[in-house]
């Protein structure tokens, strides 16, 4: 059953509320984002976090940033979160932090100032992994 979420979206210098719809296509997640003027983009993935990353790969070159936790530069879903939790939660990674990072809802609201591109997120994850190796 499709679910609609109203999320903050940054396009250029303006922030608006757009509709994000989540649904299932077989076992995969399908995400569709629709702008107020009716334009839409869709992507799918094996879990919610990876479907969101696929959608962001389409939107990143257009300068469209989604104000959800799963789009934060410091967000990452573990294998267990993706497999067992269907990517509905992500960790907020803090470099040098001991212990388990804080989990938050993937589609939970976050200020767009915390959001980056998929590449930004990949780079932050690599830095976090490196910091874990040097701390432990």
* Ranges of the chain with pLDDT below 50: 136
Answer whether 107's CB lies under 8 Å from 20's CB.
yes
Whole-model pTM: value is 0.92
Q: What is the model's pLDDT at position 95?
A: 74
Q: Hey, where are the domains in the chain? A: 3-135
Residues 75 and 114: their CA atoms lie apart, in Å, by: 10
Q: What is the model's pLDDT at position 134?
A: 57
Q: What is the model's pLDDT at position 10?
A: 95
């Amino acid at each position: 059953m499709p679910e609609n979420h109203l999320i903050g979206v940054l396009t250029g210098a303006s922030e608006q509320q757009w509709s994000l719809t989540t649904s299932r296509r077989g076992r995969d997640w399908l995400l569709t984002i629709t702008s107020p003027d009716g334009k839409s983009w869709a992507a799918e993935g094996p879990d919610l976090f990876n479907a969101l990353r696929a959608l962001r790969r389409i939107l990143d070159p257009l300068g469209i940033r989604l104000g959800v936790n799963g789009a934060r530069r410091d967000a990452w879903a573990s294998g267990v979160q993706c497999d067992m939790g269907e990517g509905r939660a992500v960790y907020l990674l803090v470099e040098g932090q001991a212990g388990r990072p804080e989990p938050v809802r993937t589609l939970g609201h976050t200020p767009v100032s915390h959001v980056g591109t998929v590449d930004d997120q990949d780079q932050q994850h690599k830095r976090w992994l490196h910091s874990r190796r040097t701390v432990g």
